[in-house]
Structure formats: C-alpha cells, structure tokens
C-alpha cells in the first residue's frame, strides 16, 4: 500500500514500500514482490571493513590449543547469514597437534592451504601429498580430506564457501571440481620469487609477486575460477605503490618485521601470521621499514571481476 510522504515534499516512488499483488489467485502469485528504481537501486549494504585478525592466529599457534579450525569470521559486521571473512571468501586457521588428524569437507569449489608451521600429510580421493612449512597446496572442493601432522602444525585455509552459500549452491561432486590436487613446495616458491627479483620491475608493475595457477586453470591465470593467489615480497626499505581494485583482498602476513600498510591514509601495523582484510576500492599501499624482506600471501576474489571485465585496477594517491 502507498505511504504518506513528508509534508515538506511531495510523495515519490522512493517512498513506496515493497508491493504485493493486489488480488493473488495462487500461492505463486502471492509470493510476487515489486520494487522500483527509487527504493531498490543502489542498495546500501554494510561495507567490507579494514580489519586485522590477531586473536585467531594467537589461538592457532598456542601449544595448548586442541586440533581444530578457527574461523576469521566477519559475518556479523557484513550482515551475512553464513561465516565470511569477505563477502565471497572465508579464511581459517587449522591447528593439528602432533600425531593427530583434522578432517575437512568444505562446501567450496576449491581450498587454498598454506603451511604456517610443522609438517604432515593430506589425503583424499584425489591423491595424497606430504607438506612442510612454507608449502602451498590446493585441494579440489566437494571432497573430504584428512590432514595428519607429524609435528604440531598450523595451516592457513581459505575457501570460497561464502560464494556458494550466497546462492545456496552445492559443492562440486567428487572428481568434478575446477582444480585437482596441486602442490607448490617452499623451495620452488622461493626460486620463482628470486627469479622475479633478479629480473626486476618497472613502475607500471604493481609489485614483485608469484601468482599461483595450475594446468587446469592456466588459461585463467588463477588457482580457482573466482579466486587469485599471490605470494608478494617487499625488500627492506621499499614500498608497494598505492593502488585500488574492485576485488576484496584477504592477506596472510608471513614476514612482518618493520612492515605496515596504509589503507585510505590510515596506518595498519603488521603482526606475525595475522590475517588482514583490504576492502574493495580502498586505496592501499605497503611499506617495509625493517631490515628483512617482508612477505605476504594474498587471496582475492579477482577471478570474478576479471570474468566480469570490471577489475578496476588503478594506481592512486593516498589521501592526506
């Protein structure tokens, strides 16, 4: 039903509440709802916050913590009915005590894992690998895996579960995921990073970073159709030029001494193994005032924006 507008101005279509069919004759007709450009365009949802998770890695690295998963969950801030670190990404820490196992079966199209600490093995229908500190591996979604630790281990685990939950989608059937089991060893990652640093870059390149992909995702240059993964390095006394993009970024801070970020002019100091969130369109830059190389692992929902032709990457100036 129409509502009365304020006496100070005439009524517009923006004042209308949601509309229903006047005389529905079936349950299907009764379910219909109607909006208009005045009350439905440019919907204002809670913003993705500039956030850093500190308590979660502390719990994961605490020797007294039990085997289990610790989510970096901002769903209450984002007003999401499902766990989420950003609207399409969920990051967790997985702690596995020596001699124990962690079972996972994520409702995702794929799973990104980085070994923060320890060594162990992961196995599922797709195969098995042995991993150690500094390794990265990708698991196909829709498949249970068992992660066993030879010594106390901590994994950083990232999925696109919120993406599937948003549309109430089921994960792929076993054998139908967009990626197979993929393993990137720490020595090979270091070799790739050194090769890029030896060659160098110019000002048109955003930074020094190894972008991970696989045989089945090579044509997309991503690890998953909607997610990108990169290991970034920032030598002592250098900075990454300020820039913005439409994708949200979830970062694991690997080597942090003397490093910090500026997010829309606000300083955010780094902490070891913290997970940070960079909001979409935020002007951000990273700095290393320490004596060691800073390293950070970045997951973005960039694959989605590449597919939409709307990544919106540009260099920018930090606001005063």
Q: What is the CATH number of the domain that holds 294?
A: 2.60.120.10
Residues 151 and 27 in one domain: no
Residues 27 and 174 in one domain: no
Residues 89 and 218 in one domain: yes
106-148 pLDDT tens trace: 999 999 999 999 999 999 999 999 999 999 999 999 999 999 9
What is the pLDDT averaged over residues 263-286? 97
Q: Would you state the structure tokens that stand for residue 281, as one six-digit string?
A: 């369109």
Asked if 95 contacts 66 with a C-beta cutoff of 8 angstroms, the reply is yes
Structure confidence at residue 3 as a pLDDT band (50, 70, 90): low
Structure confidence at residue 162 as a pLDDT band (50, 70, 90): very high
Residues 5 and 74 in one domain: no
Residues 153 and 25 in one domain: no
Residues 89 and 214 in one domain: yes
Question: Is 200 a member of any domain?
Answer: yes
Output the average pLDDT for the chain. 94
Question: Is 212 a member of any domain?
Answer: yes
Q: What percent of the chain has pLDDT over 70?
A: 97
Structure confidence at residue 42 as a pLDDT band (50, 70, 90): confident
Q: How many Å apart are CA 241 and CA 4, to the nearest integer?
A: 52
Residues 214 and 140 in one domain: yes
Q: How many Å apart are CA 290 and CA 305, to the nearest integer?
A: 34
pLDDT at 156 over 70: yes
Q: How many Å apart are CA 206 and CA 213, to the nearest integer?
A: 19
**What is the reported pLDDT for 2?**
47
What is the pLDDT averaged over residues 45-72? 97
Count of structural domains within the chain: 2
**What is the reported pLDDT for 235?**
93
pLDDT at 206 over 70: no
Question: Is 230 a member of any domain?
Answer: yes
Contacts of 209 (CB under 8 A, 6+ apart): 196, 230, 231, 232, 233, 298
**What is the reported pLDDT for 297?**
98
The DSSP annotation for 201-223 comes to: --TTS--EEEEP--TTTTTTTSS
Question: Is 260 a member of any domain?
Answer: yes
Q: How many Å apart are CA 179 and CA 228, to the nearest integer?
A: 13
* Domain, as residue range, for 215: 51-315
Question: Is 63 a member of any domain?
Answer: yes
Least confident of 21-25, 180-184, 295-299, 315-319: 315-319
Q: How many Å apart are CA 172 and CA 159, to the nearest integer?
A: 13
Question: Is 320 a member of any domain?
Answer: no
Q: Would you state the structure tokens that stand for residue 163, as one six-digit string?
A: 């993406």
pLDDT at 7 over 70: no
Q: Would you state the structure tokens that stand for residue 244, as one six-digit string?
A: 């913005």
Residues 261 and 176 in one domain: yes
What is the pLDDT averaged over residues 52-65? 98
What is the pLDDT averaged over residues 151-175? 97
Task: Tell whether pTM > 0.75.
Answer: yes
pLDDT at 6 over 70: no
Q: Would you state the structure tokens that stand for residue 24, as one six-digit string?
A: 């529905």
Asked if 88 contacts 162 with a C-beta cutoff of 8 angstroms, the reply is yes
Residues 192 and 297 in one domain: yes
Using DSSP's 3-state secondary structure scheme, residue 265 falls into coil
Residues 39 and 137 in one domain: no
80-98 pLDDT tens trace: 999 999 999 999 999 999 9
Residue 197 φ then ψ, to 5°: -70, -35
Residues 143 and 20 in one domain: no
Residues 1 and 77 in one domain: no
What is the pLDDT averaged over residues 218-243? 95
**What is the reported pLDDT for 122?**
98
Question: Is 302 a member of any domain?
Answer: yes
**What is the reported pLDDT for 200?**
80
pLDDT at 34 over 60: yes
């Amino acid at each position: 039903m129409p509502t009365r507008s304020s006496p100070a101005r005439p009524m517009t279509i923006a004042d209308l509440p949601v509309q229903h069919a006047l005389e529905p004759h079936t349950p299907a007709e009764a379910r219909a709802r109607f909006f208009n450009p005045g009350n439905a365009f440019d919907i204002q949802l809670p913003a993705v916050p500039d956030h850093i998770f500190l308590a979660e890695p502390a719990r994961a690295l605490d020797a007294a913590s039990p085997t289990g998963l610790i989510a970096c969950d901002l769903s209450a801030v984002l007003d999401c009915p499902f766990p989420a670190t950003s609207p399409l990404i969920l990051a967790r820490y997985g702690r596995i005590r020596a001699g124990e196992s962690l079972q996972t079966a994520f409702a995702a199209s794929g799973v990104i894992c980085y070994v923060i600490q320890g060594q162990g093995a992961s196995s599922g229908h797709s195969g098995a690998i042995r991993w150690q500190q500094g390794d990265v591996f990708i698991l196909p979604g829709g498949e249970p895996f068992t992660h066993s630790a030879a010594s106390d281990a901590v994994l950083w685990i990232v999925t696109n579960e919120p993406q599937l939950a948003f549309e109430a989608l089921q994960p792929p059937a076993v054998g139908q995921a967009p990626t197979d089991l993929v393993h990137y060893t720490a020595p090979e990652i270091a070799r790739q990073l050194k090769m890029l640093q030896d060659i160098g870059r110019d000002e048109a390149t955003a930074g020094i970073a190894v972008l991970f992909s696989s045989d089945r995702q090579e044509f997309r240059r991503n690890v998953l159709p909607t997610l990108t993964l990169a290991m970034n390095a920032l030598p002592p006394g250098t900075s990454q030029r300020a820039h913005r993009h439409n994708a949200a970024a979830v970062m694991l801070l690997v080597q942090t001494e003397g490093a910090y970020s500026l997010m829309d002019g606000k300083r955010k100091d780094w902490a070891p193994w913290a997970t940070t969130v960079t909001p979409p369109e935020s002007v951000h830059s990273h700095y290393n005032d320490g004596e060691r190389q800073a390293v950070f692992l970045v997951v973005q929902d960039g694959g989605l924006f590449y597919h939409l032709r709307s990544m919106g990457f540009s260099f920018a100036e930090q606001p005063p």
